[in-house]
Amino acid sequence: GESVGLHLPTLSVQEGDNSIINCAYSNSASDYFIWYKQESGKGPQFIIDIRSNMDKRQGQRVTVLLNKTVKHLSLQIAATQPGDSAVYFCAENGSGNTGKLIFGQGTTLQVKP
Amino acid sequence: ETGVTQTPRHLVMGMTNKKSLKCEQHLGHNAMYWYKQSAKKPLELMFVYNFKEQTENNSVPSRFSPECPNSSHLFLHLHTLQPEDSALYLCASSSGSTGTQYFGPGTRLLVL
């Protein structure tokens, strides 16, 4: 079945270091991928997305990498700050254009001062 | 703020109560979604509406009844819920069914 998984439930990094959060997906028909950030008491917040015709996309301090060969997605955060502490979810659109997103379980990023 | 609001933010209800969750989006989107978020589980899609028409019901029990009177408003009517229905209920909207989904802050529901 379709599933999206993250490799680590928790990632702890030092403030100022770079963070890498990984995600594996199973549906090779997925052509759209999104990263969301969810802080405590809030809904998921869109960070960055990427389509399958690209392998890299950069935003402000964030970079998403897509490796379709091994069905792997990663989110890199440069110079991690305490405000980056949150749960990060990857999502894929699966097969078809139904609007149905399939979410991973999330990785909790803890930033140590 | 994402432009998607939800009320109430917190709700405690008994198993025999009837309550409704409300979602409103100010983004001009035409697709709206209900998700359930339980601890230690991925977000679960419940319903999808596109131009007020329900296009997805992800095998949700009938004690959850959605209503979409227009493209800006979405309701989730609740009755005779079970304690295992306690969760964070998130609303999202997007421009078209394939657009990026933007989430509201959620309603934290506790069923006693």
Q: pLDDT tens, A1-35?
A: 345 665 678 999 999 999 999 999 888 889 999 99
Q: Does A112 touch chain B (CB under 8 A)?
A: no
- With a cut of 90, say whether residue B49 has pLDDT above it: yes
Contact A97/B97, CB-based, under 8 Å? yes
- Measure Cα distances from B60 to A4, A20, A42, B34 in Å: 21, 35, 24, 11
**CB neighbours of residue A19 within 10 Å:** 21
- What pLDDT shows up at residue B7? 97
Contact B98/A45, CB-based, under 8 Å? no
b/e burial code for range A22-55 (CB count within 10 A of at least 16 → b): bbbbebeebbbbbbbbbeeeebbeebbbbeeeee
- What pLDDT shows up at residue A97? 63
Residues of A in contact with B45 (CB under 8 A): 100-101
Q: pLDDT tens, A50-86?
A: 999 999 999 999 999 999 999 999 999 999 999 999 9
Q: Does A101 touch chain B (CB under 8 A)?
A: yes
- Mean predicted confidence (pLDDT) in B4-16: 95
Cα B43 to Cα A34: distance, rounded to the nearest angstrom:
14
- What pLDDT shows up at residue A2? 41
Radius of gyration (Cα) for chain B, nearest Å? Answer: 13
Q: pLDDT tens, B54-112?
A: 988 889 999 999 999 999 999 999 999 999 999 999 999 999 877 889 999 999 999 99
SS3 A66: strand
- What pLDDT shows up at residue A1? 34
- With a cut of 80, say whether residue B40 has pLDDT above it: no
- What pLDDT shows up at residue A105? 85
DSSP bridge partners of B111:
B13
**Which residue of A42, A99, A106 is in closest CB contact with B97?**
A99
**CB neighbours of residue A89 within 10 Å:** 26
SS3 B2: coil
As given in the structure block, the two tokens for residue A39 are: 């802080």
SS3 B3: coil
Which residue spans within B3-96 are E strands per DSSP?
4-7, 10-13, 18-25, 31-37, 44-50, 53-57, 64-70, 73-79, 87-94
Q: Does B75 touch chain A (CB under 8 A)?
A: no
Contact A44/B90, CB-based, under 8 Å? yes
Q: Which residue of B has its CA nearest to A9?
A: B40
Q: Which residue of A has its CA nearest to B30?
A: A99
Contact A45/B2, CB-based, under 8 Å? yes
